[in-house]
Structure 1
């Protein structure tokens, strides 16, 4: 398997006047194509900063980040936006759905930004909703869906561009226990089908669904092991 994500000596330092804070302290790791990896750590550990860099929402202060063979470490904002839209499917704790749009219109939004023709956008959005078990809900607005169904719409939106990886940031944080089970089962299915998934979480039970855990604390990876090895 080839590396979808390669991080080499990644550091992130924030500066405010004369004060410096090093949020990441030399991250080295590779995530292979088709892996399901959970990044786990407490609040303030650096996992959110790492998520922002993995998602091309921020860039390292030092080091290199290769995503699907592209060095995104030194890209400008316009280039990063293109990479985000082409190569990364995002699923957030907040569903970030537009309340006035039906499910399929929410799912097609990344394709709108990519300039895909209207007819193809609808076809691909409907197909993505079918993949997450919502073929009968394509015309429902978010307010007409349960929390778990809204998160499935968000997953469909993440899938619609056929990205190199799915980056899920605390995707079950706003869900009840049954919806959490449903969404994690969906991520399991996507992984089984060969999709690369990176899951950011502070919950050990959620991280246990991945095949590998990266434990981060004080801006550094303290453990990088298959899930079974952490039991």
Structure 2
């Protein structure tokens, strides 16, 4: 397992996103599927969301992105200061265009230069120039997940969401992805990770919240921390 260290948040941390008195429910249901009284996300923090299967973790991510199933009824106040929100799925291939070579699609999706793309791919361990010409189907699961991390790191999104990003990986690959998430995603960006794995939470979290049956069990208000210059 990698060393468990918490990345401190910047002194100038600002609120990027908030939910206030928000619910998602099925029409006519007696109780919501998800109920969030208050949640704030600030720049620079690593927020880890835990809870058993069916507790509402993925629903919470959909509430943050503003994209939930059409049959669900939403209420509440959702405030976002983010023009873009990045997303790292469980399977890296799901973040990538299946037919477009990796290097070209990362340049097209992010507007970054070929040099920036090559340097970021190298930073996530994809430094073989031949990988730039490969399509996602030609990558291993671990390579595709690294490419998805690179895509998020290259994006201009100040808020990155990751939905069980290590669930399909073996322990060694998981630890590598955790290192990458904590180092390649810049310290100014907020990273929100959903996971069942306690090691993921221990490694990444500067703050944790837990969901149970669609409700928050912990106080979700962030505590600002002073960080030495």
Bucket of the pairwise TM-score, normalised by the shorter protein? 0.7 to 0.9
Residue 203 (structure 1) shift? 1.9
Deviations 1:59-81 (A, max 9, x none): 9722111122x6xxxxxxxxxxx
Confirm or deny: 8 A CA contact 1:2 1:33 kept in the other structure.
yes
Which gives a bigger RCO, structure 1 or 2 (Cα 8 Å, sep 6+)?
2
CA RMSD for the aligned pairs?
A: 2.5
Q: Which has more helix, going by share of residues?
A: 1
Q: Partner of 1:76 in structure 2?
A: none
3-state SS of the aligned residue for 2:134?
Answer: coil
Confirm or deny: 8 A CA contact 2:56 2:211 kept in the other structure.
yes
3-state SS of the aligned residue for 1:148?
Answer: helix
Residues 63, 138 of structure 1: alpha-carbon distance in 2 compared, 3 angstrom cutoff:
same
Give the gaps of 5 or more residues in structure 1.
71-82, 227-231
User: TM-score, normalization: structure 1?
Assistant: 0.76
Matches of 1:224 and 1:208, distance apart in 2: 18
Is structure 2 residue 77 aligned with structure 1 residue 64?
yes
Q: Partner of 1:217 in structure 2?
A: 212
Q: Partner of 1:2 in structure 2?
A: 14
Residues 191, 141 of structure 1: alpha-carbon distance in 2 compared, 3 angstrom cutoff:
closer
Query: How many pairs were matched up?
Result: 201
Show the 5 A alignment for 1:78-97: 83=83, 87-95=84-92, 96=94, 97=96
Q: Which has more strand, going by share of residues?
A: 1
Residue 51 (structure 1) shift? 0.8
Is structure 2 residue 125 aligned with structure 1 residue 133?
yes
